[in-house]
Amino acid sequence: VLSGSRRLFARLPALLEVAERLGDLIAVRAEALSTPQLVTAIDWFANIGFPYHFLFESILLVVLERHPVQGISYGQVLSILEAFAAVRLRIPELESLYRHLRRPHELARLPTMALVRFLSASARLEIVEAPERDVREIVERVLAETTPQRPLPLESSVVLIQSLLLSGIVLPDRQMRHLLSWIVDTRVQQLSPQQLSVLRHYFLFLLAQPEARPRESLMRLPVEMQRFASMLLLHRSPVWRPGISDTTRLFREDVSAVLRSSGRQDEGEALQLGPAGSTELRLGNRCFLLDGPECFFRPFGATPSYTPQERQRAWLFGRVLADDAARACVADFFPPAADWPRLQEVRRLSWLDWNRTRPGEGL
């Protein structure tokens, strides 16, 4: 059953009930299953996009309980972290796995690609304990294993840059030059829409920094790297957008319906910001991000936590729409940014907040 694709599960809801029953059986018998079997099970559920909290938490607790006696391989740790990241499920016990692999002697044992996977999963889960220190150390270990004749593959290079973006890290100039040297000759056609989005957003993240030195980091790079950044930002490829859930779609349709009923439909348009993406709504000198479940970590709870992707998205919009210096720096590499409006604020409105208030009260 679990070998089916996500689309198959979406078309046949009855399969989800079968998968949930299997998850219950695995969870209650977790202590009788081997660690490889438990890791395989959690990976299966992540692959079909089924964030069954009870199963994931049960497996993680059993693995952590066994760890002092039986040990755990780095491959098993990475698989568990990646499974939780894939379904946006973050619980405090994951930090124990991060601290285990973060120890210097464990990092020293990790192959280059394992280091990239470790940083990526940890950044997506937002469990990196000391980003300035840890991220730069892991990046330095990756750089030390590469040469101009043996660079990091393009896909892994983009994953590494995404980890920097999600962690909010600006690398020292030396590390930045080394990292970008692997991809500076890449053509846009070689990048997937999502990879192009990652690179564009990281360059915008650098250009929108509040302090002058990190904001000018691209200016200190070789001219061919500056041209590469500008070329990606100016390319006419459409902006990549992640899929949204039915809950989010209905929420946004409801907001549009309320605006129409109040006679405000003319001012409730999305604000397009080129390679930075778009806000869902602009009302006067404010813009809104209308957030559905995919913007948050699970479990949602009373005050759900935004994913690092969403934190960076809101931060970037706030910088380029409200700060003249940031917008001017972006315009050096993407001249159309000079015409972006100056707004008072960027506000977030979640589907949960919308459902708790009277129609239109949050706008």
Q: pLDDT class for 27, splitting at 50, 70, 90?
A: very high
Q: Which two tokens stand for residue 332?
A: 């050096």
pLDDT at 294: 96
**Residue type for 344, please?**
Q
**Using an 8 Å Cβ cutoff, are 205 and 277 in contact?**
no
User: What are the residues whose beta carbons fall under 8 Å from the beta carbon of 189, sequence distance 6 or more?
Assistant: none
pLDDT digits (tens, 9 = 90+) for 331-360: 999 999 999 999 989 999 999 999 888 766
pLDDT tens figures, 116-126? 999 999 999 99
pLDDT tens for each residue of 46-91: 998 889 999 999 999 999 999 888 889 999 999 999 999 999 999 9
Task: Give per-residue pLDDT as tens, 270-294.
Answer: 899 999 999 999 988 999 999 999 9
Q: In whole angstroms, what is the distance from residue 166 CA to residue 136 CA?
A: 13
The residue with greater pLDDT, 123 or 264, is 123
pLDDT at 362: 66
The amino acid present at 319, given as its one-letter code, is: R
Q: Are 328 and 269 in contact (CB under 8 A)?
A: no
Cβ neighbour number for residue 144 with a 10 Å cutoff: 10
* Residues 233-250: tens digit of each pLDDT: 999 999 999 999 999 999
Six-digit token string for 70:
């039986």
Whether this model's pTM surpasses 0.85: yes
167 vs 263, which has greater pLDDT? 167
Which residues share a beta bridge with 306?
296
What integer pLDDT is reported at residue 8 of this predicted model? Answer: 57
pLDDT digits (tens, 9 = 90+) for 4-15: 555 555 566 677
Return the bridge partners of 271, or none: 279
Q: Looking at the DSSP assignment, which residues form a beta bridge with residue 349?
A: 290
Does the CA dihedral 348-350-352-358 come out positive or negative?
positive
Give the number of residues written for the chain: 363
List Cβ neighbours of 181 (8 Å cut-off, separation of 6 or more): 148, 151, 225
pLDDT reported for residue 181: 93
**Mean of pLDDT over the chain:** 92
Residue 288 has phi, psi (to 5 degrees) of -125, 145
DSSP letter at 89 equals B
Per-residue pLDDT band at 303 (split at 50, 70, 90): confident
Separation between Cα atoms, residue 62 and residue 53, nearest integer Å: 14
In order, the DSSP letters of 186-225 are --GGGS-HHHHHHHHHHHHHHHT-SSHHHHTTGGGS-HHH
DSSP 247-264: HHHHHHHHHHHHHHHTT-
Task: Report the distance separating Cα 278 and Cα 270, nearest Å.
Answer: 7
Q: 112 vs 124, 137, 144, CA distance in Å?
A: 19, 13, 9
pLDDT score at 302 = 80
Please tell me the predicted confidence (pLDDT) of residue 267: 66
